[in-house]
Structure 1
Amino acid sequence: MRIVNVSEVIDQHGLTTFQILVVSLCFLIVAIEGFDTASIGFLAPAIRQEWGLTAPEMAPLFGCGLFGLMAGAFVFGPISDRFGRKISLIICVLFFGVASLAAAHAQSLLPLVALRFLTGVGIGGAMPNAITLTSEYCSERHRLFLVTGMFCGFTIGSALGGIASAHMVGAYGWRSVLLLGGILPIVLVPFLVGFLPESVRYLVLREKALARVATILKHISSTDDYSNVRFVVTEGKSHGLPVGHLFKPELVVGTLLLWLAFFCSLLVIYLLSSWLPTLIKSTGTTLETASIITAMFQVGGTLGAVILGWLMDRFNPQYVLAVCYATAAIFIAAIGSLTTSTFALAAVVLLAGFCISGSQVGANALAASFYPTDCRATGVSWANGVGRIGSVVGSMSGGALIAMQLPLSAVFVVVGFPALIGGAVMLIFGKHRAPRGR
C-alpha cells in the first residue's frame, strides 16, 4: 500500500481552480462579515433619532458587537478542531445571518443589543475558521499571500457596508441594511454546503471519510492515482482538548507572543478606527474631510495586507511583520504633527493603515501557518479572541486620552506605542522560531 502525504501533495502542486474556489468562498464569507460589522456605525444616528436615545444609551450597541466577536472566536475555534472547519463555518454564517434578520425587527434598544451580540458571535467564529480553511488548502510557497488576499474581503465588505448604508438608510430606513446583512449570508449557505470542501488535512488527521480525501486530491492533482493508498499528514495527531495543545512545550512561547501581538495591533486599529474622525475634526477640519482622511486608513490596510502577504512568502514573515509594526508606530506618531496639511495627513494615515492593519492581517496568516492541523482553528481563533480584548480596550481608551487634554502630537505618540511593542514581539517570535526555520 502506497503512503500519500496530503500536505506534500498540496505543497507540490500549483494553484488549481479548486483551490481558487475555496479561497473565493472564504473571501465572500469575510466580505459579508465586513459588511455587517461596518454597517452598524452608519445606522447609529438613524436608530438614535427613531428611538430618542442619548449618546451614552447608544454605547452598548457598539460594545456588544465586539464582545460577540470575542465570544465567537473563543467558542468556535475548538468546535472547528473537533467537528470540522466546514460545518463550523456553515453554522456560523447561518447563525449571524439569522441574528441580523432578527435584529432588523427589534423594537427597542435592549433586544437590538442582544441580537447584535449574537451576530458578533457568528462573525467572530466564522472569521478565523475562514482563515484556517484557506491556509489548509494553500501550498507553502503561496500560503501567506493567499490568506492575506482572502482576508481583504473584510475591508472591501466594510467599504461596501458604508456605501450601502449611506444610500439605503435614507431611502428605506436603517432596518433595510440589517435585512440585507442577514439575507446575504443565508443566500451564501447553500453554496457553502454544495461547493466548500472540508479541510483534507483535517479529514486525514481525524481518519474520516477517506474516500472524500481521494476525491478532493483528484481536484488538486488529477493525474495521480489514489486507489490502494494510505493518507497521512506531516503533523501527528494529539489527544485531549485543542485549547490544551496551544500550550504544548513547542507551542506555548509562540502562543503567548501571538496573543500579545494580536492584543497590541487590534487595540491600535480599533482606537484609530473609532476616534480618528473625532481627533482630526478637533483641529478645525470639516467632518467630511475628516471622514475622507479616516477612509484612507482602511485603503492603506487593504494594500498592506496584499503586499505584506507577498513579502512574507519571500522573506522571514516574523521579521517582515516586526519591521512593519515598528514603522506603523512612526507613522501613527506623525499623524498628530501633520494636521495642518490635508494631503500630508491623508498620506500618513494611509501609511499607518498600510502598516498596522496590514500587519494584523499578516499576523492572522502567520498564526495559521504556525499551528499544526489538530489545533490550527483553535490557535487562530483564540489569538483573535485575545486580540478582541485589545479592541475593546482601544475603543474605550480614546475617550480617556481626549479627557486628559494632552497635545494632539502627544496623543498619537501614545497611540503608536502598542504598535512598537508589537514589532518587538514579532522580532522575539522570529528569533524563537529561527532554529526550526519558518
Structure 2
Amino acid sequence: MKTQTPVNVTELIDRNRVSPFQLAIVVLCFLIVAIDGFDTAAIGFIAPAIRAQWQLAPTQLAPIFGAGLAGLMAGALLFGPFGDRLGRKRLLLWCVLGFGLASVVSAWAGTPAELIALRFLTGLGLGGAMPNAITLTSEYCPASRRSFLVTTMFCGFTVGSALGGFVAAALMERYGWRAVLLTGGVAPLLLLPILVWRLPESVRYLVALGKEPQQVARVLARIAPDEDLSLATFTASHGKPGGSPVGQLFRRDLLRGTLLMWLTFFMSLLVIYLLSSWLPTLLRANGVSLQTAALVTAMFQVGGTLGAIVLGWLMDRINPHYVLAVSYAAAGVFVAAIGSLAATPWLAALAVFCAGFCISGSQVGANALSAAFYPTDCRATGVSWANGVGRMGSVAGSLAGGTMLAMGLTMPALFLLAGAPAIVAGVSMMALGLARSKALPLGDVPVLTEPRSVS
C-alpha cells in the first residue's frame, strides 16, 4: 500500500524549469499590467488637449492628475488584504472589470468635476490589479529566475505607458482626447474573458488555505508533468494565514524592511508621476509641438522597459538592493539633466530615455523585491501597501508639477528638484540591503527567495 508523500510546493516550483504554463501566466499578467500602464499614463499625454478645450490653469489641471493617482493609492491599500483573503485571481478579475468600465464612461465626461470623479474610480481598479498581478506572477516563478520574470512581466506597465504616448499622438489630432480614454477602457473588457478562462489561482495560496490536494496536484502537474503527485500531500513555506495581513507587515522581522520599502516606493513614484504627468506640458511650454512632446515623453517608458529587463537580470546575479541603489542614484542625475537639454528635442529624448531606464526600471525591480521580501500569508498585502504608500508619492508628484509651474521656476531648477527624491530612494534601498546582509547568512541576500518562517 502506497503512503502519502509530503510535497513542498515552493521547493517543487524552485527545482523545476519554467514551463509553458508558467510563461502563459507571465504573459497574461503582462497584458493586465500593460493596460494598467496605458490607462495610468493616458491622462498625462492628453492633458494639454484637456487643458486647451476646457481653458484650465495648471493648478486646475492638477486635480485631474491627482484623482486617478488617489484612486490608485486607495485601491492598493483597500484591495491588497482582499488578495490575501479572497485569492489573487478573483480580485484581479473584479479589478480589471472595474477599471475597464470606469475608463469607458470617463470618455464621455462633460466637465472637469465629472472627469475627476471617474478618474478616481478608474484608479481604484488599477490600484488593486497591479499588486495582485505582481504577487501571482511571483508565486509561480522559481527563485533563481524570479527577479527576471517578474520584472519582465512588469515591463507591461512601461510598454503600456509608452504605447499611450504613441496612441495619443495618433488619435488626438483626428478623434480627440476622449478616444484615448475609450481605447484604455475597451481593451481590459476584451481581455477579461481570456483571464477567466486561462488565468489560474496561485497554487501557494491554495495550499496555504488547505484546498483539496487533487486541485493542487492538477495545477502542479502542468509545472512538473514528470512527477507523481497522485498520493501527495502539499505544504507551503507558511501555513494558513492568521491574524490581520496588514498587521503581519509590522512584525519584528519585517518592520524595518517594510518602512524602508515604503520610503523607496514613495520617492520613486513621486519622480515617475511628476515626469509622466507634467513632462508633455513642460515641453510644450518650452516651444515643442504637441506630437513631439508626446513622443519625447514616451521615451521615458521605453527606457523604463529596457531598464527593467536589464536590472531584473542583474538582480538575479548581484545583491538586488545594491543594483537598485546605484540605479536610483543615477536616475537623479539624468532627471536633473533634462532641464538643461529641454530646448533640444533629441538631447532631451536621450536624457528622458536614460532617466526612464534608471527610475522606472528600478521601480519595476523594487516591485519584484517587495514580492520576494514578504511571505505568502501577507505577500499581496505587502506588495499592495508598498504600492499604496508609493501612490501617496505619486499624488504628491502630480500636484508638485502644477505648484512648481506656478512658482515660475526655471527649467534647470525645476528638474534639479525633481531628481532629488530619486537620490533618497537610492539611499533607502542601500540601507535595506545593509540591514538584510547583517540579518541573513552570507549568500542569502542576492537571490530573491521565499522568506523563512519565524518561530
- TM-score bracket for the superposition, by shorter chain length: over 0.9
1:225 and 1:305 map into 2 onto residues whose CA distance is: 37
- In the aligned structure 2, how far is the partner of 1:287 from the partner of 1:174? 12
> Which of the residues 352, 359, 362 maps onto 1:359?
362
Matches for 1:134-283 after TM superposition, within 5 Å = 134-280=137-283
What letter is aligned with 2:56?
A: T
SS in 1 for 2:6: strand
Q: Determine the structure 1 residue equivalent to 2:104.
A: 101
Q: CA deviation at 1:152?
A: 1.0
Please give the per-residue CA displacement for 1:139-195, whole angstroms capped at 9, x wherever unaligned: 101111111111111122222233333334454454443333222212212211111
**Percent identity of the aligned residues?**
60
Contact 1:267 1:393 in 2 (8 A): yes
Shift of 1:312: 0.4
Paired AA for residue 179 in structure 1: L
Kept in 1: contact 2:162–2:302 (CA 8 A) = no
TM, length-normalised to structure 2: 0.90
Change (3 A) 1:344 1:53: closer
Structure 1's 308 and 229: CA in aligned 2 closer, same or farther, altered over 3 A?
same
2:412 equivalent in structure 1 = 409
**Does structure 2 retain, via aligned residues, the 8 Å contact 1:203–1:210?**
no
- CA contact 2:13–2:141 (8 Å) conserved in 1: yes
Contact 2:65 2:277 in 1 (8 A): no
Shift in CA distance, 234/349, structure 1 to aligned 2, threshold 3 Å:
same
The aligned counterpart of 2:314 is 311
The more displaced of 309-318 and 178-187 is 178-187
- Deviation digits for residues 179-213 of structure 1 (CA, Å, limit 9, x no counterpart): 33222212212211111110000010111233221
TM-score normalised according to structure 1 size: 0.93
CA deviation string 1:42-71 (max 9, x = no partner): 444555666x45335544322211111111
* Counterpart check, 1:428 vs 2:431: yes
SS in 1 for 2:184: helix
Deviation, structure 1 residue 361: 0.7
Q: Partners in 2 of 1:9 and 1:395 — Cα distance?
A: 44
Structure 2 distance, partners of 1:67, 1:238, is 29
SS across alignment from 1:336: helix
The separation in 2 between residues aligned to 1:342 and 1:421, in whole angstroms, is: 28
Contact 1:101 1:179 survives alignment (8 Å)? yes
The 10-residue stretch of structure 1 (96-105 or 333-342) with the greater mean CA deviation from structure 2: 333-342
Q: Runs of 5+ in structure 2 lacking a partner? A: 446-455
Q: Distance in 2 between the 1:330 and 1:179 partners?
A: 37
**Is the CA contact 2:213–2:232 (under 8 Å) kept in the aligned structure 1?**
no
> Which residue of structure 1 aligns with residue 113 of structure 2?
110
* Equivalent position SS for 1:314: coil
Match of 2:19 in 1: 16
Match of residue 90 from structure 1: 93
Change in Cα spacing, 1:107 to 1:414, as seen in structure 2 (3 Å) is: closer
CA deviations 1:321-355 (Å, max 9, x no partner) are 01111111222233334456554433222111111
| Secondary structure, counterpart of 2:234 in structure 1 | strand
Q: 1:333 to 1:20 in 2, by over 3 A?
A: same
CA distance in 1, matches of 2:108, 2:283: 36
Distance 1:190 1:274, change over 3 A: closer
Using the alignment, how far apart are the partners of 2:285 and 2:67 within structure 1?
Answer: 27
Q: How many residues align?
A: 437
> 1:2 matched to which residue of 2?
5
Give the letter for the 1:145 counterpart: F
Query: CA 1:396–1:104 in structure 2 vs 1: closer, same or farther (change >3 Å)?
Result: closer
Choose from 32, 46, 69 the match for 2:72: 69
Distance 1:402 1:166, change over 3 A: closer
Other-structure match for 1:373:
376
Amino acid at match of 2:33: V
Q: What residue in structure 2 maps to residue 54 of structure 1? A: 56
Q: Which runs of 5+ in 1 are unaligned?
A: none
Offset at residue 237 of structure 1 (A): 3.9
Per the alignment, do residues 421 and 46 of structure 1 end up closer, same or farther by CA in structure 2, a change over 3 Å counting?
A: closer
RMSD in angstroms over aligned alpha carbons? 2.2
Please give the alpha-carbon distance, in whole angstroms, between the structure 2 residues aligned to 1:428 and 1:220. 37
What is the SS of the residue equivalent to 1:239? coil
Tell me how far apart the structure 2 counterparts of residues 354 and 43 of structure 1 sit (CA, whole Å): 23
From 306, 328, 350, give the equivalent of 1:347: 350
Q: CA deviation at 1:383?
A: 0.4
